[in-house]
Structure formats: structure tokens, C-alpha cells
Amino acid sequence: MIFEQLEKCDYEQLIFCQDKNSGLKAIIAIHDTTLGPALGGTRMWTYENEQQAIIDAIRLSRAMTYKAAASGLNLGGGKAVIIGDPNKDKSEELFRAFGRYIQGLNGRYITAEDVGTNEADMDLIHQETAFVTGVSPAFGSGGNPSPVTAYGVYRGMKAAALEAFGSDSLQGKTIAVQGVGNVAYHLCGYLHEEGANLIVTDINPAHVERAVEKYGAQAVGIDEIYSVNCDIFSPCALGGVINDETIPQLKAKVIAGSANNQLQENRHGDKIAELGLVYAPDYVINAGGLINVADELLGYNRERAMKKVETIYDTIHRVFKIAKRDQIPSYLAADRLAEERIASVKRSRNTFLLNERHLLNRGR
Ligand SMILES: NC(=O)C1=CN([C@@H]2O[C@H](COP(=O)(O)OP(=O)(O)OC[C@H]3O[C@@H](n4cnc5c(N)ncnc54)[C@H](O)[C@@H]3O)[C@@H](O)[C@H]2O)C=CC1
Ligand SMILES: CC(C)CC(=O)C(=O)O
């Protein structure tokens, strides 16, 4: 059953990590390491059951392969999930135990923050392994990548606005933001600064209040967000929100947000394209955080990272061009961009290279 699932999208490895003392139950999924080590955040979430956690880990890890490839990074795709309540179940013991599992993979997987984890958690993992990014800036890192992800989403949203409205200005545009957590709070800052009108929702009332107070956003109920009158719908909470139930409710012309795996199924990407909606593919528009943490591997330079994040505007534009050229929905155009890069790197490695583990090295 599990191998069947892994084979479907050609996953490399699935690792189950258990530590009775700390209560750790984690899954690390490595999808593809053609381009380099698998880098992707660790999500901590109260999954309904183990199957849900496995599905989340593998779907998210595959998206990371595509995200890195489409962003021009030399990284593969991986992701981890910890089964637990981030408000109740965190401890030093748990994150250190998890860090030791990551260390055991010897660099095949590098972690960072995701929903439910933060910089302090990464610092604990860092006690046990160097294969972690997004740790405190005191360690020479870029810190929590969320504000940088937000900047990338802002840039990508402007490119999508250009496609839909003929201008990339967001001034006077009404933007409905679902989930105003780490990424979207900063995104709202950029949008407010440019003169956009914000409508927000969140299951956490404190997060809604923060956006209302700081950016004059209008708050709506969690189920209302799909049907509000707006120009842009920005999903910034969890995945699967573009589906049979929500598509008929949408009044927006553009979908552009930070959430991973926004389309419940690929056919929903086909449907929104048929309806003429402009969809900025999730893993292209939300690559800012990955670009930021990837820069840490070179010795972190904020200016260099932000310059690269700015190019998300051009990548989104390129995706729309491929979609038009090949007459396909934008989500497929993004896949094409990523897959072509992975295939071309594979081809470029056809020639033999002597490495330390090769037979020819024996006896040296
Ligand atoms: N943090 C980062 O740098 C990156 C994040 N992402 C993705 O962006 C999304 C948001 O990430 P973060 O801001 O870091 O997470 P977060 O946990 O800080 O924010 C998510 C927000 O959504 C809210 N939420 C959850 N379910 C909801 C629902 N049904 N309706 C309304 N609100 C709901 C939560 O209360 C929270 O405020 C996630 O899907 C994440 O995987 C993607 C790339 C990078
Ligand atoms: C380091 C994270 C920002 C990368 C990640 O897990 C993601 O982009 O979803």
C-alpha cells in the first residue's frame, strides 16, 4: 500500500521516527534528490490519523522538488511532519530527538520552519545537527523565512495582477486573505503599503485582530472568505482549498497566495483555467522562504537572497507565457518548467566523474 503510493510519484524515501520518551512521532519524506539535498520545512500538526500525516508529508515533499527546480535552486524536495499539537506537545527533548534523526540522514534532508514550528524549535534541532536552516540569526542564519516568503508572494501577486488586469499595481485592489499567520501578516503589510483593501479571516482570533488593527483589514468568517467580493483571493493557511465546493463561490479573478498544495486535485487547476481565473502556481509564488534558507547554505547574504526572491515576478510571468504557448493551465506550465530543468540536469550528468566511492579509487 505504502510502496504503491510512493511509486506513483516516484518518491525516494520515507522515514518514520519514533522516540517514546519525548513522544516524538515524525515522518520525513524525501521525494527527489536529482538536483541536490532535499530541503523542506517541518510541519507540526494535530493530524486526524497517521495516514493523513503520511499523505501530507509525501505531497508536501513532492511540491518541494518542483519548487526548488522551478526556482533554479540546486536542491531536491523533502518535507517532515511531526504528529502533535504545537501549542501543547513541544519540548527540548522532542526537537533534539528529531534533530538526531535528521543528522542520521547525513545531509540527504535539511529542515527548516513550516506551519506549527518556529525559529526556537530550529535552534533546538540545531543542537543535534547542522542540517537545519532558519535558525536564529545569531548562528549566521537568515532567521525565520516567513517575511521573505511574504515578499515573494507579493512580487508574484503583482505578476499575476499584470496578467489579469493589464497592470501590476495593487493599489485600490481588494484582496481576500485566508489565514493571517507568519507569512500573511507580512504580506498584508506590503499590500497595505501599496494601497490595497484587505479582507481577512483566520481560525485564530488574535491573528485576525492584529491584521484589523495594523492594516485596517475587514474581518469575515472562515467560510465567508471564498465568496466575498474581491479582485484577488490569497490562500495563506493550509492546502486543498481550491476544490469543488469553493470554486463556484469565488468572485476573484486571481488566485495568489502562500499556502502549499492549494489545488485539492489537478482537475481543480483545469477547472479554474477553464473559468478564466489567473492562478499563480503555489510552489512558484511561495518559493521566497526556500530561496532564503537555501542562501544560508552559501553563507547567508540577505541582499543576495532578496534579489533572487524578487525574480519570482519573472518566474510567474514565464509560467503564464508557457501556459499560453502550450495552451495548458498555469499549474501544468509550472510543472513543465520544473520537470524540464530536472531532466536537463540529469542529461548534463551523463559523463563519468570519478568520486571517492568508485571502484577505481580502491587502493589509493
Ligand atoms: N513560512 C514560510 O516561509 C512558508 C510557508 N508556506 C505555506 O504558507 C502557509 C502559511 O504558512 P505560515 O504563515 O508559516 O503558517 P502559520 O501557521 O503561521 O499561519 C497559518 C495561519 O492560518 C490559520 N488557519 C489555519 N487553518 C485555517 C482555516 N481553515 N481558515 C483560516 N485560517 C486558518 C492559522 O490560524 C494561522 O494563523 C502554509 O501552507 C505553509 O506551508 C509556504 C512556503 C514558505
Ligand atoms: C524553508 C521553508 C520556507 C521551505 C518550505 O518548507 C516551503 O517552502 O514550504
- 253-289: per-residue pLDDT in tens? 999 999 999 999 999 999 999 999 999 999 999 999 9
Residue 76: CA count within 13 A, CB half-sphere: 19
Q: Which among 44, 258, 293 is the best mutation to test ligand 1's pocket, defined by most ligand atoms within 8 Å of the CB?
A: 258
Continuous segment of H or E residues that includes residue 209: helix 205-215
Q: Respond yes or no: is residue 158 known to be catalytic.
A: no
- Tell which CATH classification among 3.50.50.60, 3.30.479.30, 3.40.50.1220, 3.40.50.720 matches the domain 147-342: 3.40.50.720
Q: CATH 3.40.50.720 spans which residues of the chain?
A: 147-342
Q: Is the CB of 179 under 6 A from ligand 2?
A: no
CATH architecture of structural domain 2-62+76-135: 3-Layer(aba) Sandwich (3.40)
Contact 54, 45 (CB under 8 A): no
Residue ranges, comma separated, of all CATH 3.40.50.10860 domains in the chain are 2-62+76-135
Binding residues for NAD(+): 179-184
Residue 251 DSSP label: -
3-state DSSP call for residue 203?
A: coil
Query: Would you say the CB of residue 40 lies under 6 angstroms from ligand 2?
Result: yes
Point out which residues pair with 315 in neighbouring strands.
Answer: none
pLDDT digits (tens, 9 = 90+) for 53-106: 999 999 999 999 999 999 999 999 999 999 999 999 999 999 999 999 999 999
Q: Are strands 24-32 and 42-45 parallel, antiparallel or unpaired?
A: unpaired
Query: pLDDT digits over 121-153, tens only?
Result: 999 999 999 999 999 999 989 999 999 999 999
ipTM for the assembly:
0.98
201-204 long-range contacts, Cβ below 8 Å, gap at least 24?
201/176, 201/177, 201/225, 202/178, 202/237, 203/237
